[in-house]
Structure 1
């Protein structure tokens, strides 16, 4: 039977200094039953930018909000025109060494489950099992009226048919598959409706201002409750949808390990804070274990 290591840490109300050593991470993960919470920083090495990191797109781009999408035809037209171009970049992305390292640790029985804030599906593509996609997945489309779920590739084909002369070049690709386009390209884009009920189609992802479905959030809490430690990978924890699980683990007295470039909103709850590139850190971690 594995014994959970006791780290030399006492809560002081102030974040611990960041380190580049993986020694304490190795100690915690080697004991097993570790839940992973990943963010956009894990996918940057796959060519998908993040929102808030060193090259974060929030400095130049305002993401689509739920209210704007459901309340404005022009808002939906702008989103789908830009996403029609940007989704292909997300769809072509391949898992990087960090995703593969997480899958390997899970296969060895050390990682008990994965919660991801990312909508790119790369954890599953790398071989991780039973991934909880906190914010959904761009590969799926949902009808807001009848709730029918369909494949994004099918919608992409329908958009191509409905817009035979549409040509646009992405000026900037964002983590949600949205891109920057010239306004004239957006205005000419033809929308399509749900084939089942002619309702409004939306990517099956959680927009800014939209709540994570309760059943999904409860699944994440159970995963954290059943784990002995929480390993945060590449998330600034700026939004409460991810931070709440860090607070939950901290309140339960479980080690919280954060591996991220730069500060996070959860630093005050961390047992260890490691500042390293995710691919390098996770490859080294998997090798040492």
Structure 2
């Protein structure tokens, strides 16, 4: 079956669905130029991951973590939402989108036009910071200013707690409320579309299986094969923006 025929199958499934979950991984962001964490040359091949307990206990580690976050945030700022992001926004406009569940931390879904209510960020967001004690949000610009002024990692103005990028570090607990909402949505959807995820990181990779067990169709669009391809109703190994482009024309 040629690409256009497979693309038509995807569009027909979308048009027949009313409660669509779109589950996104690094693949949708790399098409916007955001560096991939795991692939060769990615961030985790350049830097040893920073554990949460080390961040909390060591000023030196906190300063190194912030140095990396500023570098990564500069990369995020250069990136623009691509056709894959814009196609999902079109689903929102059509009232077919139940939710986007994302493993990404770059904020590109919100920048593309999705409402905050329609996005669940399983691994947090690396474009702003929060206080680890009182959860007050801070811009990265404010955190950078604090570091420049005090020559120390930034602290909260309200309670004096540690400020940290609002992303989940290794060893840090996944956000329970976000995961529970994602599981509920997976049970409620009638079409679960995976876009650009290797489906190797758990518990997030369990969500397509939950959707499938509860009667949803499972479509996987990814550059490479995934461990869950055998469960899918449809698999397309192709670029996401190209695959979804008919939704935005």
Tell me the TM-score normalized by structure 1: 0.76
CA distance in 2 between counterparts of 1:19 and 1:255 reads: 21
For the residue of structure 2 that corresponds to 1:104, the secondary structure is helix
Deviations 1:59-79 (CA, angstroms, capped at 9, x unpaired): 444332323322333221211
Which of 141, 150, 153 is the matching residue for 2:129? 141
Give the 5 Å matches for 1:222-241.
222-241=184-203
Change (3 A) 1:211 1:265: farther
**Alignment partner of 1:152 is 2:140:** yes
Residue of structure 2 equivalent to 1:27 = 12
Change (3 A) 1:215 1:262: same
Q: Which has the higher contact order (CA 8 A, sep 6+)?
A: 1
Residue of structure 2 equivalent to 1:264 = 226
Change (3 A) 1:55 1:251: farther
Deviations 1:89-145 (CA, angstroms, capped at 9, x unpaired): 223422112111110122122322211111111111111222112222123312222
Residue of structure 2 equivalent to 1:11 = none
Cα contact 1:146–1:197 (8 A) shared by 2: yes
CA distance in 2 between counterparts of 1:36 and 1:110 reads: 11
Residue of structure 1 equivalent to 2:214 = 252
Query: Runs of 5+ in structure 2 lacking a partner?
Result: none
CA distance in 1 between counterparts of 2:48 and 2:226 reads: 20
Which of 68, 84, 101 is the matching residue for 1:82? 68
Change (3 A) 1:61 1:261: farther
Change (3 A) 1:210 1:24: farther
Residue of structure 1 equivalent to 2:113 = 127
CA distance in 2 between counterparts of 1:49 and 1:231 reads: 23
CA distance in 2 between counterparts of 1:62 and 1:276 reads: 31
CA distance in 1 between counterparts of 2:246 and 2:217 reads: 20
CA distance in 2 between counterparts of 1:266 and 1:211 reads: 25
Query: Runs of 5+ in structure 1 lacking a partner?
Result: 1-17, 164-189
Instruction: Out of 150-159 and 211-220, give the one that drifted further.
Output: 150-159
**Alignment partner of 1:100 is 2:86:** yes
Q: Which has the higher helix share?
A: 2
For the residue of structure 1 that corresponds to 2:203, the secondary structure is helix
Change (3 A) 1:57 1:154: closer
Instruction: Out of 229-238 and 136-145, give the one that drifted further.
Output: 136-145
RMSD (Å) for aligned C-alpha atoms = 2.3
Residue of structure 2 equivalent to 1:44 = 30
Deviations 1:26-71 (CA, angstroms, capped at 9, x unpaired): 2211112211111111011222111235764444443323233223
Number of residue-to-residue matches in the alignment? 244
CA distance in 2 between counterparts of 1:147 and 1:227 reads: 31
